[in-house]
């Protein structure tokens, strides 16, 4: 797994070809992912001779959550993708909002994980640069559900993450399996990524995207989280009044 140990790189081309395919391609449902708590469809999407697999989550299939009363889970997935782009870490696969067979919802490029990677061992690693970047990313978006099964190590060594529908709460609700760096200083790469995010929160593309999908208070809470991370420059500690690890953790 040596290739996975290198530092994260900026995404090339900002996923333009994938975004075009996801936005304008013909979507065909192939099946449903039964283990998902909300309606999640496995689909193929085709356009101009290109074909790819993707995940389609219609808003009509979302179950209401008492602690996320505003907006939609699909919108939070789009907000997470926007933060991923702004950070330069390329953690969230290309994601769009579009209509589909069951109405509008989130559509995300399917990532074929490297089956040779032990996900439990990966989740416990302290030296995987992509995993450590994901821990900071989760702190920014206030991810309330980072499970081991949400880690998507691609065959080329890049680490993606999925299922970001329960993020961006105003209250501190970070719940994750990635606590191995708690209290440790942030890496220089993490500081640079946070500075990129902060700059785009001040009137950039990220500010526009978050304003579309989140409430004004949730956007402000995101700004505050980024400011705190830049001020203290350490990985956060688990919350004291909220379960620190999702259940089940896998």
pLDDT single digits (tens) 10-46: 344 457 889 999 999 999 999 988 777 788 999 999 9
Residue 241 lies in a domain: no
Does residue 245 lie within any of the structural domains? no
Number of domains in the chain: 1
Task: Check residue 138 and give left, alpha or beta (phi > 0: left; psi -120 to 50: alpha).
Answer: alpha
pLDDT digit string (tens) for 113-123? 999 999 999 99
Beta strands in 80-187 (DSSP E): 95-98, 105-109, 151-153, 159-161
Residue 10 maps to a domain: yes
- Identify whether the C-beta of residue 174 lies closer than 8 Å to the C-beta of residue 239: yes
Q: Is residue 228 part of a domain?
A: yes
Q: Is residue 243 part of a domain?
A: no
Strands (E), 89-136: 95-98, 105-109
Give me the domain span that covers residue 107. Answer: 2-232
């Amino acid at each position: 797994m040596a290739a996975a140990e290198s530092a994260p790189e900026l995404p090339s081309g900002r996923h333009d070809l994938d975004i075009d395919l996801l936005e304008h391609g013909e979507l065909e449902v192939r099946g449903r992912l039964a283990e998902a708590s909300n309606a999640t469809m496995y689909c193929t999407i085709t356009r101009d001779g290109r074909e790819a697999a993707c995940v389609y989550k219609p808003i009509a299939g979302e179950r209401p959550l008492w602690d996320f009363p505003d907006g939609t889970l699909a919108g939070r997935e789009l907000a997470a993708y926007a933060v991923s782009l702004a950070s330069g870490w390329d953690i969230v696969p290309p994601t769009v909002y579009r209509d589909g067979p069951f109405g509008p919802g989130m559509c995300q490029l399917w990532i074929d994980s490297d089956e040779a990677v032990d996900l439990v061992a990966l989740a416990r690693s302290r030296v995987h640069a992509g995993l450590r970047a994901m821990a900071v990313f989760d702190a920014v978006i206030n991810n309330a559900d980072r499970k081991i099964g949400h880690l998507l190590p691609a065959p080329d060594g890049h680490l993606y993450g999925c299922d970001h529908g329960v993020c961006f709460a105003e209250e501190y609700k970070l719940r994750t399996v990635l606590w191995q760096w708690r209290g440790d200083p942030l890496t220089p790469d993490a500081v640079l990524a946070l500075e990129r995010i902060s700059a785009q929160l001040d009137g950039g593309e990220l500010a526009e995207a978050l304003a579309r999908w989140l409430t004004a208070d949730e956007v402000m809470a995101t700004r505050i989280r980024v400011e705190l991370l830049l001020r203290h420059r350490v990985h956060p500690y688990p919350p004291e009044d909220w379960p620190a690890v999702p259940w089940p953790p896998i």
